[in-house]
Structure 1
C-alpha cells in the first residue's frame, strides 16, 4: 500500500514539476513584455495601419509623417502569439507580420518598424540596428 501511495504521488507530481520547469526556463519568452512601434517616415504623407492578432484587434490608425503608433503585450503560454498589420500608403500597401517569435532573437523584445516609400523596414537591435526591409506587396493604386 505504501508503494502504491508513492507511485501515485510521483505520477501526479511529475506533470506539475515539468510544467514548473517549462515556465521557469521560458520566462523570457512568455512573461517579458514585447513592444511594437510603427513610425511613418514618408515625408508629407499620412498612412493608415490596422494591426491585430488572433486575440486582439487594435483598430485603424492614421499616422502623419513622423508620427508613431505603439503597443505592448505578453506572448501567450504556447508561444504562438503573432501580430500583423495592414499598411496603406500612396506608394503601395500590404499585410505584414510585425511580431513573430522568430523575429524576437533579432529585436530583443523591441520591434521598431519604419514605414518608408519603398516598403516596411525593421530595426534589428541584435544586429547593430541593421535594417531588414520588405518591399510593398501591392503597387500603388491608380485611383
Structure 2
C-alpha cells in the first residue's frame, strides 16, 4: 500500500465528494419538479389586491391583481424542504381604510406534501385560504391582522 500515499487519499476523497454532489443535484432535479403557486383575488368586484412576494433569493416585485384574476409563479423547492416565499398583501376595504399583512405563502416544510406541485390560494375579505390537495378542502390558514 506504499503507492497509496496521503495525497492520493485526498484526491480520491475530493473526487468522491464532487461526484456525490453532482449526483445529488441530478437526483434532486429529477425528483423535485417545479412548484407552481397561484394567488387568486376573490375579495369582491372592484377590489384590487396589492401583492409583493419574496424568498431569500427572489423578489417577485409588486403586483396589482384585479378581482377574479390570478397571479402565478414557479420555482424548485430545495432538497431539504426549506423553501419559503412570503407575501405582503394589502387592499382597500373602504375609502381610505386598508387591510394588510405579511403571510408565508409557501413553506416547504408545511406545503411540499399538502400542496405537492401546485399551491392554490384564494384571497378573500375574511382571510387567506389554501387548497389542501389531499382532502380538496380550502383551509382557512390566515386572518387579516
- What's the TM-score once normalised by structure 2's chain length? 0.77
Q: Is contact 1:37-1:112 (8 Å) kept?
A: yes
Distance 1:78 1:20 in 2: 16
**Which structure has more strand as a fraction of its residues?**
2
Q: Return the offset for 1:88.
A: 1.1
Q: Deviations over 1:120-142 (max 9, x none)?
A: 011121x132222123242xxxx
Q: Return the offset for 1:75.
A: 3.4
Distance 2:107 2:82 in 1: 8
The aligned residue for residue 126 of structure 2 is 118
Distance 1:73 1:19 in 2: 21
Q: How many residues align?
A: 135
- What's the TM-score once normalised by structure 1's chain length? 0.78
After TM superposition, the structure 1 = structure 2 runs for residues 22-61 of structure 1, keeping only pairs within 5 Å, are: 22-27=24-29, 28-29=31-32, 32-44=33-45, 45-61=47-63
Distance 2:11 2:62 in 1: 53
The alignment yields a C-alpha RMSD, in angstroms, of 2.4
User: 5+ residue gaps in structure 1?
Assistant: 139-143
